Every structure is written in C-alpha cells, then in structure tokens.
Amino acid sequence: MAALAPLLAALLVAAAAASAQAEPAGAPDQCTPDVLSRIAFGAGVGSYQTEGSAQGRAPTIWDTFSAASPSKIADGSNAKVAADFVRRYKGDVQLMRQLKMKHFRFSISWARLLPGAKSGSAPDAAAAAYYSSLIDELLAAGIQPLVVLYQWDLPQSLQDDYDGFLSPKIVPDFVHFADTAFRLFGDRVKTWLTFIEPAVFCNQQYGSGIWAPGVANGEAGRFACGKHVLLAHAAAAAAYNSKYRAAQNGALSFSTLVTWAEPASGSEEDAAAAQNKLDADVGWFLDPIFKGDYPASLRAAKGDALPPFTPSEAASLRGSLDFVAANCFTARFVSAGDAGKPGAWRESKVSPVNGSAVGAASGLAWLDVAPWGQGRALAYLQMRYGDPQLFISSSGVMAPGENKLQGAAALKDAFRTDYYRSYLNEVCRAARGGARVIGWSAWSFMDAWEWTEGFNTKFGIVHVDYSSPSLERAPKASALWLAANVFSRGAPAVAHAA
C-alpha cells in the first residue's frame, strides 16, 4: 500500500485532468452538482467473499459446500483466503479514502462474530475488535460504514441443527446476532441492511439448491425461507426500535433485487404478465412490509405453497423498513405465460415482438446492459411503495472477457465506466424527477470470491491480483472515473429521513 499511494495519487490527478478536458468522460448529463450532492456514493462487498482468515471463525455453509463439491464452483476454488481482507483492511480503507468513497458497505460474518451462532452465545472478542477497528478506520477516513448482517454465509451449525432458514428457529438466533451487532457497533453504524436479496438466496439456497447449503426443496423450501427471513427482519427491527433507536438513531432495510419486467407488447395480457413477475420477485418481500400481505397474483399462483402470516406476524412486518434498498442490474421482456395459469409469465432478453435485445451483452449471461430498465424500476418502487427513500444498494457489471485479462489490461475497464455512466444517469434522472434517492453503492469494491462463480466473475472497481502472493490491489479505470466524477461530488453520508 505504501508503494501504491503515490502512484494512485498521480493516477487520480491524471483522471481528474482528463475528465475536465474531455466532456464525454465526465459526470453523466443528468448528474448535476445539486443532484449529486443529495446522494451518498460508495461501494461494497460481502464478508465471506473477501475476508479470508477462515481459521478465525466457525464454519459456514459455503465452507462445507465448496469443500464437499468443488465441481459446483466454476474454478473449483474456495474462500479460505479470498482477498485476505481481515489482515489487509487498513490498506484497503486508505485506498477507499483515496478514491473518495463516502461509504463502504460490508457484511459482518455471523460465524466470526458469534462462533456459537445461537441466541445467548457470546461474541468472539477478537472478531468484535476486528469489526470495531474496521468501523473506526472507516470513520477516521471520512467513510460511512454501511453494515449488512446476512450476505449468505449461514453458520454451518444452524444448518445442521434445524435446517437454517427452513425453520422458524432461525428467527430468535438471527435477532440475537442483529442485537449483538447493534449493541457493539450501533453507536457508529447508522445504516443497516439485515439481508441482501432474500428472493435470490432463498431460491438458490433452499429452492433450486444450486448454492450452499444445496437444499433443493423447490417451492416449499424457498417460500419457507422467505417467510422466516421476513419474520427475522421484522423481529430484528423491533429489537432495534425498542432498545437502540432512541440512542443510536439509525435506519434499517434489506436489499431487494429488482430486475425490471417490461411488457413485450401493449396488450393487457403482457402488462399483467410483467406485473406477475414483479409481484413474484419484488412484491414477495416488499408487499408484506408495505401492504400487509403477499401480492394477490402470487397468492393466486401458489396457493397453499405460500405460507400465510398470522395477524400478529403481519403486524410485525408493517413499517419495518426505513427505506427501500434496491439492487438493479438488468431487465427482461415479459409476455403472457400459459393461458389460464394464474400468475404465470414468460421472460426473455430479446423481444418476442421485434427481436430487439434489452441491451448489450456483458461478461455475464444474465446481465445485459439496460439502464432504461433501472430507471423504470426506480419509478415503479416510488409509485408502488408510497415514495420511500431509495438506496441503490448494488450496481455493477463484468466486461466481456474481463476475467481473462492480466496486468495493465485488467485495469482498462472502459466497458464498466460506460455501464456506470449510463446507469448513474438514470439514477440522477429519477432524483431530478423527485425520487428520494439517498445512496448508491457500486458492486463491488474489489474483485472477490463470487460464490459458485469462484474467482471467475470480476465485479470489482478495484482489481485484485489473485496470482500474486501479496494479493495486490490496483484501481481500475472505472474506479478513477467514479472518484473524479461521482464519489467526490456526492453527499458526505446517507441522509435518512427523521
């Protein structure tokens, strides 16, 4: 890091000069200074994907899964070392400071903070000291710590004891984890996300089983998981409200993946089909919070497979989000599915009507570049959920072929810069139009271990050379562009409504 600092400073000066000269390289048109100044911009990454130091925590479901089935990880790798963040965080925080990031969104490893995992278990002193020090380093560097509690790394013991999120027993254990984090860190942490993309992890961890812990319980599995995630979130929010909110004055949400569903034609059937997809992906989690129950189309489609809420459970969910956190990456065209089948839809990346694509291909099959879809998604959230404060909690991409690049070539990510310019333009357009956008996080701060993709998927604005023993970090061109045009011009911290 010491050697990197002067180089980085020189690069930042050069990037600022370049952006001052060449207008197209500068901030997106819609991102005028007053709009930028309302939004806190930063970047994030998950604990399991970066921390390493696996010996310093209890095992998680991903340790078990990657050891038992390396063939299910694209490159056969594991995250025992990952980016070695636990030992290198001080240098990384200095890099964040030089990039002028205003927040860093990271998750806390449940298995590290609470090796016993369960309600009543004591925090590990070294883990508590580590997270506390990370938070202090960030604050000293002028960077807001934005903390996620669960990004997919369940302690293995909870899976072994009662099948993790398939059981209501997860609720008090999660509340203990959340309460411990609020108690230890809430004096300094003001923005919390209890969960990242519940629909995604419930589908993949307990529905299809393609992710750890590999439980393929189909609809019953994913909907049981979903219900317990919602109840765990609500109970954690209730603990925050009763014990911490008055003194700590923070805000809570969970992040929701919003893949925009564009009707494939002007027909009523296609409009209804697109709404069915939004209900199934987004309404599954946000409607119970804002409207008191699952969307009607999801109820009609799933019947008894969707476990209902008792009146007191429903009451606990109402109003348990202080803001809406949305992860927006791409869009789909949607047309009517099987006639007569309630809640059905068909989706594609290419319009069945005129053959045009939602956007250009990226380095990821599921992620085509569709900034227009993000714009519509933000307008939808604003309208459907009563104009909440909005936080874009993940935005990012991998360039085609980026994972094959090495050395200086790996830092030239003009594709990512273009992606960010077009997506940020839509965020700023929404904010100019009155959407209450308070924050935006790039996904991800650094190249990391991306679950079943291993190290084959690169989302980072900072490159990590996983072939070098020192796991050398270097900012990509996109990081320098964000620093000069976005990070440095935004609000100093996320401003939550009182």
Stretch that binds ligand NAG, among 136-144, 223-231, 241-249, 349-357 (CB under 6 A): 349-357
Q: Which is nearer to ligand NAG, 37 or 267 (CB)?
A: 267
Q: Which is nearer to ligand NAG, 128 or 370 (CB)?
A: 370
Q: Which is nearer to ligand NAG, 167 or 351 (CB)?
A: 351
Cα–Cα distance between 459 and 337 in angstroms, integer? 33
Written in H, E and C, the secondary structure of 434-457 is CCEEEEEEEECCECCCCHHHHHHC
Gyration radius of the chain over CA positions: 22
Per DSSP bridges, beta strands 191-196 and 144-150 are parallel
| Residue choice 21, 55, 242, 356 for contact with ligand NAG (CB under 6 A) | 356
399 and 362 Cβ atoms separated by less than 8 Å: yes
Smallest separation (angstroms) from ligand NAG to the CB of 420 = 23
Footprint (CB under 6 A) of ligand NAG, residues 394-423: none
Number of residues that bind ligand NAG (CB under 6 A): 8
Q: What is the DSSP letter of 366?
A: T
354 is an interface residue for ligand NAG by CB under 6 A = yes
Smallest separation (angstroms) from ligand NAG to the CB of 379 = 15
Look at residues 183, 193, 225, 189 and name the one whose alpha carbon lies nearest to residue 206: 225
353 is an interface residue for ligand NAG by CB under 6 A = yes
- Which residue lies nearest ligand NAG, judged by its C-beta? 351
* 3-class state of residue 194 by DSSP: strand
351 is an interface residue for ligand NAG by CB under 6 A = yes
Instruction: Count Cβ atoms below 10 Å from residue 81 Cβ, excluding itself.
Output: 17
139 and 183 Cβ atoms separated by less than 8 Å: no
Residue found by looking up tokens 């900034």 in the block:
371
178 is an interface residue for ligand NAG by CB under 6 A = no
Footprint (CB under 6 A) of ligand NAG, residues 302-341: 333
Q: What is the DSSP letter of 360?
A: B
Q: Buried b vs exposed e over 156-172: b needs ≥16 C-beta within 10 Å?
A: bbbbeeebbbbbebbbe
Stretch that binds ligand NAG, among 188-196, 275-283, 347-355, 376-384 (CB under 6 A): 347-355
Smallest separation (angstroms) from ligand NAG to the CB of 357 = 9
CA angle (270 as vertex; 266, 273 as ends), nearest 5: 150
Q: Which is nearer to ligand NAG, 200 or 353 (CB)?
A: 353
Q: Which is nearer to ligand NAG, 85 or 333 (CB)?
A: 333
Smallest separation (angstroms) from ligand NAG to the CB of 334 = 9
Pattern 231-270, binding to ligand NAG, x per CB under 6 A?
-------------------------------x-xx-----
Look at residues 494, 482, 393, 489 and name the one whose alpha carbon lies nearest to residue 37: 489
Smallest separation (angstroms) from ligand NAG to the CB of 265 = 6
Residue found by looking up tokens 């309600």 in the block:
119
Instruction: Count Cβ atoms below 10 Å from residue 262 Cβ, excluding itself.
Output: 18
Smallest separation (angstroms) from ligand NAG to the CB of 423 = 18
Pair of tokens at residue 231: 């109840």
Q: Which is nearer to ligand NAG, 133 or 267 (CB)?
A: 267
220 is an interface residue for ligand NAG by CB under 6 A = no
Q: Which is nearer to ligand NAG, 86 or 273 (CB)?
A: 273
Interface residue list for ligand NAG (CB under 6 A)? 262, 264-265, 333, 351, 353-354, 356
